[in-house]
Chains A and B, each alone.
Chain A
């Protein structure tokens, strides 16, 4: 099955700086890579996703890049704000599998 590794486990950034979280996956057939944000006491919520036929996707201050050759994908948050403080999860999905495989999560803290 798919194995997803996520780094770093914790990340502290100054407000206004950028944050980058990286994930690697094991199965080269995986073709869907979502990112979830989990605020304290809530369930994870999708913030952005990318498919294997696209190298980069942006949505306002967040972007995701995918390197299929190296089997890694990254989340970039620019101009961080206090409300970006949360736990972020990456995930990967194989085309013939219903299951999403999640990384262990990154706790992001934005310092004011």
Chain B
């Protein structure tokens, strides 16, 4: 299994540009989520999904959109990038059930908005 994969690893955008951060998992996990990591602020939840066609907002959703058309993929879209969105973004997936709740993280995307 490849686990959770993210692309790209690094990205530089100009203010106002849009882009999509890709995330895929091959573990057939129903739950997927996106976090951003900023110094001293831990991991903050942006959006999450509990299955194909179902998404919901986390604690910092403004400026981001998500969709979940398949179990495997959960892309994160920045509609109009702002310098405040400079951060490291992590995608994660998890099995929900009696087998356990281990959450697997991808390697991250480091985004800089100029």
- Interface residue ranges, A against B (CB under 8 Å): 6, 9, 32, 34, 36, 41-46, 49, 89, 93, 98-100, 102-105
**Considering only CB atoms, which chain B residue lies closest to A105 in the complex?**
B42
Neighbouring B residues of A98 by C-beta, 8 Å: 31, 48, 50, 96
Taking each of B41, B43, B58, B103, which has the highest tally of chain A beta carbons within 10 Å of its own beta carbon? B43
Q: Are A46 and B48 in contact (CB under 8 A)?
A: no
CB of B11, distance to nearest CB on chain A (Å)? 15
A6-B42, A36-B105, A43-B92 provided; 17 other pairs, C-beta below 8 A?
A: A9-B40, A34-B102, A43-B4, A43-B107, A44-B90, A44-B105, A49-B102, A89-B42, A93-B101, A98-B50, A99-B33, A99-B45, A99-B48, A100-B45, A100-B103, A102-B42, A105-B43
Give A100 to B101 CA distance when docked, in angstroms. 10
Neighbouring B residues of A44 by C-beta, 8 Å: 43, 90, 105
Give A9 to B39 CA distance when docked, in angstroms. 11
Give A45 to B90 CA distance when docked, in angstroms. 12
Interchain residue pairs A-B with the least CB separation, the first 6: A43-B105, A104-B42, A102-B43, A102-B42, A44-B105, A105-B42
- Interface residue ranges, B against A (CB under 8 Å): 4, 31, 33, 35, 40-45, 48, 50, 58, 90, 92, 96, 101-108
Neighbouring B residues of A43 by C-beta, 8 Å: 4, 90, 92, 105-108
Q: Are B58 and A99 in contact (CB under 8 A)?
A: yes
Give A104 to B31 CA distance when docked, in angstroms. 22
Taking each of A46, A99, A100, A102, which has the highest tally of chain B beta carbons within 10 Å of its own beta carbon? A100
Give A6 to B106 CA distance when docked, in angstroms. 23
Q: Are A104 and B48 in contact (CB under 8 A)?
A: no
CB of B19, distance to nearest CB on chain A (Å)? 20
Give A43 to B110 CA distance when docked, in angstroms. 11
Known A-B contacts A99-B48, A99-B58; the reply to A46 vs B42 at CB < 8 A is: no
**Considering only CB atoms, which chain A residue lies closest to B110 in the complex?**
A41
Neighbouring A residues of B42 by C-beta, 8 Å: 6, 89, 102-105
Q: Are B105 and A45 in contact (CB under 8 A)?
A: yes
